[in-house]
Amino acid sequence: MTAIAGPLLSATINGVTYGATLFLVAVGLSLIFGVLRVLNVAHGSFYALGAFTAASAWLLISALGWPPLCIYPALVISALVVGVAVGPVVERGLLRWTFGIEAEAARENAQLLATYAIFLMLEDAQKLIWGGQPYYSGSALRLLGITRINGIPYTNYQLLLILVAVLVLIALRILLRGTKMGKFVLAVAEDPEVSSAMGIPVARIYTVAFTVGAILAALGGALASPTIGVNTGIGSEMIVLSFAVVAIAGLGQIEGAAVAALVIGVGHSIAVFFFPALSSVIPYATMLLVLVFKPYGLFAAAQVRRI
């Protein structure tokens, strides 16, 4: 019994950590979808940009000889910089025109293609800026020391990651339900037209929500950067994973995304222990399974069919 329980606990902790990153990225995607009704194919690129920027920040801190602990605020700042620099430009400059397309199918398709085009541009932008080689900032991982659980060492950084995800979840809930701006966002997500008739500047709310979504993706990337090799291609992988999380939860769901990210994270890590070859199938297989029984995700209400 204990022979199984040890690895299981370990897999669960690793899975929760993985799920935490996944949640940060996916909740950004879900927020953007919930408010703007855009499925942002370029979302994985925001994750990658966050990771690259954070890796550069680590190099810079080492080069300047600053105390290594500076990396932790630098991770968050990297995410903010990426989100604020890229989010509004993409939303205002490249996506806004699609909101005027009347027919729903044509609008969705234009948005899928436009965000895919943005994804391609950002992929190459990464190569142009950071070159083709991978970046490792793994030493940032060990700065906080390790904790032994059941004799197995975990970096405290991993545990910090979980804490950050929980804090983001709580903060989002408080911001959305408890502040004026959050209530504007909820109103626009539900009914942009009535919102504007009540005096809410809908276009501004779109930019805010998109930027916050981009910051969350970049934060996922920045926080994950010490735990992975930051390389081109991490964005294209993350976008499909976060799609899977969002689809399992139901588009636009926030707490649901946390549950789905956890399920995928833990499922993935457990599979790594027991059937390593199949572990990467877990997110997609889970998504397929959920959508077969709940076509709009676990936590979403059914949509009305178009007439």
Partner 1 sequence: MRAVRSLLWLAVVGGYAVLPWLAPSLTYQLTIVLALGLAALAVSLMLQAGLISFGHALFYAAGAYAAAYLGRLTGAHVVITLLLSSLSAALLALIAGLLIVRYRGIFFAMLNLALSMVAYTLLLKLYNVTGGSDGLVVSATGVAGYAMGPTGLADLLFYLALAAAVLAAWFVRVYLRSPAGWALGAIQDREIRVEYLGVSARRVLLVAYVLSGGLAGLGGAIAGIAVGHVAPDSAYWTTSAGFVVMAVLGGGGDVFGAFAGAALYEMLSVFAAQYLSSSWELLLGVIIFVIVRFAPSGLWGFYDGLWRRMAAGER
Partner 2 sequence: MTAGAAALDVDGLSVYLGGATVVRGISLRVDRGATVGLLGRNGAGKTTTLRAVMGLVPVCAGRVTLLGEEVEGEPAHWRARRGVGYAPEDRRMISALTVEDNLWLPANACGLPHQAAAQRLAWIFEILPELEPLRKRWAASLSGGQQKIVALGRALMAGQELLLLDEPFQGLAPALARRYAEALSQLRERDRQVAILISESNPALLADVAQKTYTIERGEIVTAT
Site residues, partner 2 (CB under 8 A) = 102, 180, 183-184, 186-187, 189-191, 193-203
Q: CA distances (Å), 169 to each of 150, 181, 199, 258, in order?
A: 28, 17, 28, 8
Which of partner 1, partner 2, none sits in contact with 198, Cβ below 5 to 8 A by type?
partner 2
Q: Is 51 helix (H, G, I), strand (E, B) or coil?
A: helix
* Residue 166 identity (one-letter amino acid): V
Determine the Cα–Cα distance for residues 150 and 194; give it in Å rounded to an integer.
Answer: 55
Chain centre to alpha carbon of residue 265: 13
Which of partner 2, partner 1, none sits in contact with 3, Cβ below 5 to 8 A by type?
none
Nearest approach, Cβ of residue 239 and partner 1 (Å) = 8
Which of partner 1, partner 2, none sits in contact with 287, Cβ below 5 to 8 A by type?
partner 1
Task: Tell me which residues in 58-77 interact with partner 1 (CB under 8 A).
Answer: none
Which of partner 1, partner 2, none sits in contact with 156, Cβ below 5 to 8 A by type?
none
Instruction: Spell out the alpha helix ranges (H) of 37-131.
Output: 43-64, 71-88, 104-130
Which of partner 1, partner 2, none sits in contact with 112, Cβ below 5 to 8 A by type?
partner 1
Determine the Cα–Cα distance for residues 208 and 185; give it in Å rounded to an integer.
Answer: 9
Task: Tell me which residues in 240-279 interact with partner 1 (CB under 8 A).
Answer: 240, 243-244, 247, 251, 277-278
Q: Does 127 bind partner 1 (CB under 8 A)?
A: yes
Nearest approach, Cβ of residue 222 and partner 1 (Å) = 23
Determine the Cα–Cα distance for residues 254 and 27; give it in Å rounded to an integer.
Answer: 6
User: Please, which residue, 41 or 168, has the CB nearer to partner 1?
Assistant: 41
Residue of 292, 293, 301, 302 interacting with partner 1 (CB under 8 A) = 292
User: Please, which residue, 107 or 183, has the CB nearer to partner 1?
Assistant: 107
User: Please, which residue, 72 or 273, has the CB nearer to partner 1?
Assistant: 273
Determine the Cα–Cα distance for residues 193 and 195; give it in Å rounded to an integer.
Answer: 5
Quickly count: other Cβ atoms within 10 Å of residue 127's Cβ: 10
Chain centre to alpha carbon of residue 9: 25
Q: Does 39 bind partner 1 (CB under 8 A)?
A: yes
Angle, vertex CA 149, rays to CA 228 and CA 7, nearest 5: 70
| Contact between residue 30 and residue 251 where contact means Cβ atoms under 8 Å apart | yes
What is the contact surface with partner 1 in residues (CB under 8 A)?
39, 94, 97, 103-106, 108-110, 112-114, 116-121, 123-125, 127-128, 132, 236, 240, 243-244, 247, 251, 277-278, 280-281, 284-285, 287-288, 291-292, 295-296, 305-307
